[in-house]
Amino acid sequence: MPDGYLGPNTYLPFWIIMIPIWYYAGRWLRTNLRTKQVPYLALAAAFSFVIMMFNVPIPGGSTGHAVGSALVAIVLGPWAAVVTTSVALLIQCLLFGDGGITTFGANCFNMAVVIPFVGYYTYAFIAGKTKMTDRRRIIGSGVGAWLGLTLAAACAGFEMGIQPIINVSSAGVPLYMPYGLNITVPAMVFGHAFFFSIVEVIVTVVAFTYIARNDPTIIWNYKAVETASKPRVPAAAA
């Protein structure tokens, strides 16, 4: 969302919410990042940036794009995705004028928090205690990517759609986003659910499947997944 679509009573709270989230995400990365993952972290941040440059046209003349942060969340952990996606969004905003300064907190909340956490936990829920190469994990990664981006779009639609309710001039004219929830939420959800989230699903499933099959040790929680997926051996037989 560019500058001007959200009023201060909306964009300031998102900045305030994001500050502790960024702080904790940085701490998490310091504690949990492994030496072997360093090149993949760099790759993930670069990937986030370039995938967002693929604008997809949809019927009605609008465009949009995937974000790639569900994939980063599943492979490097949702907190790592908070960091890589936020910094990619920062570069977009500061260098290329894409996404506002005032709305930066809200944009990070939608794309660097909602997508990674909804994406990862949906994947983890569907995957259960299966092995890293199990089909359920692949399905989970796809469903997580779709739900993450689609819900993030709904959040953005909600943030814009409440503007004509909470920010109007004394004459009743909208000061920021002029369209209400009945228009913004369906518009954002439609474009994402049927188009951009599909792109998100494809990149997530392809890359996750490749990594899980070829070098699962890159994946942040592969040890926990391995331990949990071991068949339980009765004590007497062990």
Partner 1 sequence: MDKVFRNLLIWLLILVILVPLGIIASGTAYGEWGADELQSLIGYVPAGFASLQGLYHAPIPDYGTDWASSLIGQSLGYYLAAIIGVGLLGVLFYLIGKELTKNKEDKEDTA
Judged by CB under 8 A, the stretch of 13-21, 112-120, 140-148, 211-219 that binds partner 1 is 211-219
Q: Does 172 bind partner 1 (CB under 8 A)?
A: no
180: exposed, middle or buried (C-beta count within 10 Å: 0-12, 13-18, 19+)?
middle
Q: Does 182 bind partner 1 (CB under 8 A)?
A: no
Break the chain down into helix, strand, coil percent, rounded to 5.
70, 5, 25
| Smallest separation, CB 169 to partner 1 (Å) | 6
Cα–Cα distances in angstroms (integers) from residue 179 to residues 6, 107, 167, 202, 233, in the given order: 12, 19, 12, 32, 60
Q: Does 116 bind partner 1 (CB under 8 A)?
A: no
**Binding residue for partner 1 (CB under 8 A) from 16, 19, 53, 228?**
53
Q: Does 100 bind partner 1 (CB under 8 A)?
A: yes
Distance, in Å, from the CA atom of 52 to the CA atom of 93, rounded to the nearest integer, reads 12
**Binding residue for partner 1 (CB under 8 A) from 223, 224, 227, 228?**
223
Burial 140-156 (b: 16+ CB within 10 A, else e): bbbbbbbbbbbbbbbbb
Q: Does 17 bind partner 1 (CB under 8 A)?
A: no
| Smallest separation, CB 72 to partner 1 (Å) | 11
**Binding residue for partner 1 (CB under 8 A) from 54, 130, 131, 139?**
54
Half-sphere exposure of residue 204, counting CA atoms within 13 Å on the CB side? 35
For 24, other C-beta atoms within 10 Å of its C-beta total 12
Q: Does 49 bind partner 1 (CB under 8 A)?
A: yes
61: exposed, middle or buried (C-beta count within 10 Å: 0-12, 13-18, 19+)?
exposed
Map residues 127-156 to x or -, x wherever contact with partner 1 holds by CB under 8 A: -----------------------------x
| Smallest separation, CB 93 to partner 1 (Å) | 8
Q: Does 50 bind partner 1 (CB under 8 A)?
A: yes
**Secondary structure class of 186 (helix, strand, coil):** helix
Judged by CB under 8 A, the stretch of 37-45, 128-136, 142-150, 230-238 that binds partner 1 is 37-45
**Binding residue for partner 1 (CB under 8 A) from 30, 233, 235, 236?**
30
Judged by CB under 8 A, the stretch of 17-25, 106-114, 118-126, 212-220 that binds partner 1 is 212-220
Mode of pairing for the β-strands spanning 56-57 and 63-64 = antiparallel
For 221, other C-beta atoms within 10 Å of its C-beta total 17
